[in-house]
Structure 1
Amino acid sequence: MKKQIQMALLALAMSPLMALAQQTFSSPEQAASELANAISHKDDAALNNLLGENWQQFLPPDGVDPEAVARFLRDWQLGHRIVKQSDTAWLDVGNDNWRLPIPMERSSTGWAFNIAAGEDEIQTRAIGRNELSAIQAMHAYVDAQQDYYQLNHRWAQKIISTEGQKDGLYWPIVPGEAPSPLGPNFAPAVPGEGYHGYHFRIITNGDKGEVALLAWPVEWGQTGVMSFMVSQNDKVYQADFGEQTTDKIAAMTRFDAQAPWQLAE
């Protein structure tokens, strides 16, 4: 009987129910300082204690942007303050008071981070970054098409060249060879993965071989919301096609900036 009890306790100790409790603090200022320290030292164990062991599931699929981490630490050194609202507190850092999307909440045991409460804001910010990256990619595409036209006196009809050819905006090069007009980022390492949460496709624009570019989220509402379109005039248009985004984009074969498209700001 004693052995059975010991085995039962061992099984319980190994279960998720016995995972370490999330760390709490006497003040939100102390919690914020510990978070900054854990981030600066890249201490995953400390982050597990601070944010909970499942904190990474609330982040974008590609994880934390290293540039965002570096920017946070720089802003933290410039200055930081706690903004309290009843039993909730927020961390603002830097001269522009950038706000950490993860709130700290007070319970009977003290202050602790609640990353689940910040999930919507984390996703909203990730979508915003993806959309800005898509717009920047559209402008890069226009420049690449201009370079391609100077070399070939025609517009490229595809983004990635056929293997062994240079019939697209990107092709692999050997050392010493001039680079292709477009870099390899538009070619995801995993098919269907997209670039910063977006797919891209070249379509026609008129009857003279002119072309335009479409960009749409890999997963609407998750990796992006707006779809984008640009021609060689470098004016980017945007539209929200909602849950029908994939089907509506698939049906588009020609550049047409009529409603619901509108200039992107």
Structure 2
Amino acid sequence: MKTQLLSGIVLLMASTLAHAQQHFSTPEQATDALATAISEQNESAMSNLLGENWRDFLPEEGVDPDAVDRFLRDWKVKHSTVINGDVAHLVVGDSSWQLPIPVIKTASGWQFDIQEAAEEILTREIGRNELAAIEALHAYVDAQQSYYAMNQSYAKKVVSSAGKKDGLYWPAAPGEAPSPLGPAFSPTEPGAGYHGYRFRILPDKNSGFAMVAWPVSYGQTGVMSFVVNQDDKVYQKDLGNDSAQKAQALAQYNPDGSWQPVAP
């Protein structure tokens, strides 16, 4: 019995050591190792540096490949590790973009603390999603104008019926001109949304066109809801935890004073 217990303790210790995060003598060594792991797309090294559950702290759709490319380009341009007491941050590029994951000093050395970065990662993701939603609304306005030029009327739906061109998006045949909107507004997974947002065409009291956008998951994929009409001026409002219900309940485009204009 003692032998079995001892064996169990040894196995537990071995497992703990195998999954322990990597420590470094200096924060610069840690940030250099991370940049190398990212450039090599080394999943094992990433787990050693950030912990086995590091992907749990990323957005649901994962890391944007373009963001990774920008990081690596900025790293080559310029990078430094800014130390403030027992906390350090990696800063890259001419614009001094700061990695949200801090390096902290522990009794064993310097290591990344991705749990400490969770809130900042979420805040940044929400900001990116909201900007993408605003850009999508501007794209919608352009698409409606293009649709009107072809049909002398505005589209009543985003995605066309099968085999028809009665919406702003339809699959284009080879050699055929593309639809006014791209396939991003027609996600392959129903209800997945676009960059954390869902969209719905609204009737406009001036017989034009309008659209509302709201977060797929309030507080996680976005906070603000947005509306736009043919004037191409976006308004925003925090509809709270009931954002989806309130946005879908809007009968027409008619923002009151509680909707604030989004700076162009």
Q: Pick the TM interval, shorter chain.
A: over 0.9
Give the equivalent residue in structure 1 for 2:227.
Answer: 229
More displaced stretch, 1-10 vs 186-195: 1-10
For structure 1, the residue ranges without an aligned partner over 5 or more in a row are: none
Give the secondary structure class of the aligned counterpart of 1:31.
helix
Alpha-carbon distance between aligned partners in 2 of 1:32 and 1:221, rounded to the nearest angstrom: 30
Q: Deviations over 1:40-61 (max 9, x none)?
A: 1111111110000100000000
Give the equivalent residue in structure 1 for 2:238.
Answer: 240
Give the secondary structure class of the aligned counterpart of 1:81.
strand
Output the amino acid matched with 2:178: P
Q: Deviations over 1:150-182 (max 9, x none)?
A: 111111011011112111101112112221111
Give the equivalent residue in structure 1 for 2:172.
Answer: 173
Q: Does 1:67 align with 2:66?
A: yes
Q: 1:251 aligns with which of 249, 252, 257?
A: 249
Give the equivalent residue in structure 1 for 2:77.
Answer: 78
Q: Deviations over 1:160-219 (max 9, x none)?
A: 1111211110111211222111111111111111000000000110253x2201111000
Alpha-carbon distance between aligned partners in 2 of 1:76 and 1:193, rounded to the nearest angstrom: 33
Alpha-carbon distance between aligned partners in 1 of 2:59 and 2:224, rounded to the nearest angstrom: 17
Aligned-pair CA distance for 1:4: 3.9
Q: CA RMSD in A?
A: 1.8
Give the equivalent residue in structure 1 for 2:261.
Answer: 263
Alpha carbons of structure 1 residues 10 and 110: separation in structure 2 relative to 1, 3 Å: closer
Give the secondary structure class of the aligned counterpart of 2:199.
strand
Output the amino acid matched with 1:150: A
Alpha carbons of structure 1 residues 108 and 13: separation in structure 2 relative to 1, 3 Å: closer
Alpha-carbon distance between aligned partners in 1 of 2:14 and 2:220, rounded to the nearest angstrom: 34
Alpha carbons of structure 1 residues 7 and 110: separation in structure 2 relative to 1, 3 Å: closer
Q: 2:211 aligns with which of 210, 213, 217?
A: 213
Give the equivalent residue in structure 2 for 1:188.
Answer: 187
Contact 2:205 2:254 survives alignment (8 Å):
no
Contact 2:172 2:178 survives alignment (8 Å):
yes
Output the amino acid matched with 2:154: W
Identity over the aligned pairs, expressed in percent? Answer: 54
Give the secondary structure class of the aligned counterpart of 1:229.
strand
Alpha carbons of structure 1 residues 202 and 14: separation in structure 2 relative to 1, 3 Å: farther
Q: Alignment length, in residue pairs? A: 263
Aligned-pair CA distance for 1:3: 7.1
Alpha-carbon distance between aligned partners in 1 of 2:145 and 2:10, rounded to the nearest angstrom: 67
Alpha-carbon distance between aligned partners in 2 of 1:243 and 1:97, rounded to the nearest angstrom: 35
Give the equivalent residue in structure 1 for 2:103.
Answer: 104
Output the amino acid matched with 1:264: V
More displaced stretch, 169-178 vs 2-11: 2-11
Output the amino acid matched with 1:261: W
Give the secondary structure class of the aligned counterpart of 1:140.
helix
Give the secondary structure class of the aligned counterpart of 1:200.
strand
Output the amino acid matched with 1:238: Q
Give the equivalent residue in structure 2 for 1:149.
Answer: 148
Q: Deviations over 1:228-262 (max 9, x none)?
A: 11111111111111112112112102001212111
Aligned-pair CA distance for 1:73: 0.9
Give the secondary structure class of the aligned counterpart of 1:169.
coil
Give the secondary structure class of the aligned counterpart of 2:171.
coil
Relative to the length of structure 1, the TM-score reads 0.94
More displaced stretch, 81-90 vs 44-53: 81-90
Contact 2:75 2:93 survives alignment (8 Å):
yes
For residues 7-86 of structure 1, the aligned pairs below 5 Å read 8=8, 12=12, 17=16, 19-86=18-85
Q: Deviations over 1:19-43 (max 9, x none)?
A: 4210000000110111111111111
Q: Extract structure 1 runs of 4+ deviating beyond 2 A.
A: 1-15
For structure 2, the residue ranges without an aligned partner over 5 or more in a row are: none
Output the amino acid matched with 2:238: D
